[in-house]
A and B are shown apart, each in its own frame.
Chain A
């Protein structure tokens, strides 16, 4: 039911998450974001970090949500491997669980600069699931 993948973009990487709800699709998209940097299976979901996002529509909210984790990864020097989202009017409250970046164990490949509005799409699709996707700049 839930899952994530990367999709092709010439210079950068597309992240795509899906699930039974909009919140699940966001959670999975954030996992896809982690996977741009390192294999999420190597990241222990130990320490919770909360984020709050506000945006006027589901697509801008996805970009905000991913940018929140790009900021947390960058300033806390952490990686995250589990996410939870609660949608609210005008935004969301989320939590990510992760641990301190350990280059020897996580083998981080590349740093993400920001989530973009390219190939940005959030919605319920023909398979009945919610999908959330956009390209991230690396």
Chain B
């Protein structure tokens, strides 16, 4: 990115002052090196978002921001319905409520090393991953609607997991205000056989060990010590979310002139929160959130079953579950005054600070766990909400790609990537070697630089680093 148009506020905060159609400034949280690596499109997309009606505060970019669809990926923007604020399907993304959850195991690194290959093979057999894989359950329309209304709570009622899991999930596992009736038959068709599947692309299930502790007090509150083993899984709302995104993007493009919206980019398609289309999308998108929460809950259950066969002493309690493609109605103080806002986080994680009432009691004093997925070779991080409420209490979500999939497949061979990682003690299991090549660790940015910038900017505090031992790649 050309830094000429940016005002440097500090080493980690940069601003674009309102110009042209911009109603608010744009704020980028990143160091100079990360910014220089960012596409100029990120700044252009932020300026476009800052021009949308009813935007409050600023249009924000996280340190892992990259060129997205209308909104940058790694973008945060909040809108006030009372001021003509909008909701945008592109501002949420196709994979509604894609996110990460991390489970404890109660085990230490040597416990896994002893059975690593068997465990990897067994998980790969148990967890449906990759294109064309189908889940173990097929939902009737009545069950589908109940799942879309109730989310992970529905899954627990069906026997997938326990009530304790719900306490450790955003929205207690059930997004209120979901309207299954606003989800099309096509979207439900795409989901019929996909409950409890991981998907493909950058989705994964990993066994990881805590390789570094940065904040001992918060790590203790989170129940994590160096050498502990956890399981993290990254996936979203599968075909249902993708279809909701596809259909509402088109509907919002077609309806924009009628809503008096001129869009500099069709991907910015949005609708007033106070409109039939805006309300319909909100109801459907919330159902999509519930689909993702139910999906991760079912995958959790499958993971527990797989562990029970090989390591019966393991206890896979949930640490926390975060989503990073959402729009949520939240209360935030703006200029000293509390306001109800609709906060879009596209490739950004909510990061509530210490004491926030939405957090479960055992985690409340420490602040919300912010789970950052890395690439399969590098590592992941758990951060904690800082309590500074920057960017409406948001932080980054991952490493972000450094190069395209085509470039990656020209540089790396899937088999060589698997062998190289195996040499470093990381077992990869994937139905697709080309998929592995496209997801090669070198195709991603340095996740360490991203979380360092997030901490230095005050978005979140670094708590622990996680390194992969086994990766089931979709």
Contacts and interface: CB of A to CB of B under 8 A. Distances in A.
Interface string B420-463: 00000000000111110010000000000000000000000000
A74 B435 contact: no
B183 to A, nearest CB: 14
Contacts of B242: 70, 113-114, 137
Interface stretch (B63-71, B103-111, B206-214, B313-321): B63-71
Contacts of A103: 130-132, 431
B253 A110 contact: no
B131 A110 contact: yes
A101 B132 contact: yes
B94 A109 contact: no
Interface string B239-252: 10011011001100
Contacts of B432: 107-110
Given A74-B190, A109-B432, A11 B66 contact: yes
B69 A137 contact: yes
B131 A63 contact: no
B435 A114 contact: no
Interface in A92-128: 101, 103, 107-111, 113-118, 120
A120 B90 CA distance: 15
20 contacts: A10-B39, A12-B404, A60-B250, A70-B246, A75-B189, A77-B132, A107-B432, A108-B431, A108-B432, A109-B131, A109-B432, A110-B200, A110-B201, A110-B432, A111-B200, A113-B94, A114-B246, A117-B249, A117-B253, A138-B200
A67 interface: yes
Contact of A108 (B130, B253, B266): B130
Interface string B173-201: 00000000000001001101000000111
A11 B401 contact: yes
B69 A117 contact: yes
Given A8-B407, A9-B404, A116-B249, 17 more contacts: A9-B67, A13-B404, A60-B254, A71-B243, A77-B134, A108-B132, A108-B200, A109-B435, A110-B131, A110-B435, A111-B131, A113-B245, A117-B269, A118-B69, A118-B267, A138-B200, A138-B405
Nearest to B269: A117
Interface of A: 6, 8-13, 37, 55-56, 60, 63-64, 67, 70-71, 74-75, 77, 101, 103, 107-111, 113-118, 120, 137-138
A120 B39 contact: no
A10 B267 contact: no
A107 B415 CA distance: 13
Q: What are the 6 closest A-B residue pairs judged by CB atoms, nearest first?
A: A109-B434, A108-B131, A113-B242, A117-B266, A114-B246, A113-B94
Contacts of B267: 116-118
Contacts of A111: 131, 199-201
A101 B250 contact: no
B115 interface: no
B201 A75 contact: no
A23 B96 CA distance: 32
A37 B201 CA distance: 11
B95 interface: yes
B73 interface: yes
B140 interface: no
B201 to A, nearest CB: 5
A110 B95 CA distance: 14
Given A11-B73, A108-B131, A60 B253 contact: yes
B127 to A, nearest CB: 15
Nearest to A55: B250
Contacts of A9: 67, 404
Interface string B259-284: 00000011101000000000000000
B404 A10 contact: yes
Interface in B143-188: 186
A137 B131 contact: no
A137 to B, nearest CB: 5
Interface string B44-80: 0000000000000000000000111110010000000
B434 A10 contact: no
A138 B87 CA distance: 23
B67 A10 contact: yes
A8 B201 contact: no
Contact of A37 (B131, B189, B406, B433): B131
A64 B132 contact: no
Contacts of B189: 71, 75
A118 B249 CA distance: 12
A75 to B, nearest CB: 5
A72 to B, nearest CB: 10
A63 to B, nearest CB: 7
Contacts of A75: 189-190, 192, 239
Nearest to B263: A117
Contacts of B141: none
Contacts of B69: 116-118, 137
B200 A67 contact: no
A131 B141 CA distance: 41
A55 B189 CA distance: 22
Most chain-A Cβ atoms within 10 A of its Cβ — which of B245, B405, B435?
Answer: B405
B131 A138 contact: no
Nearest to A67: B246
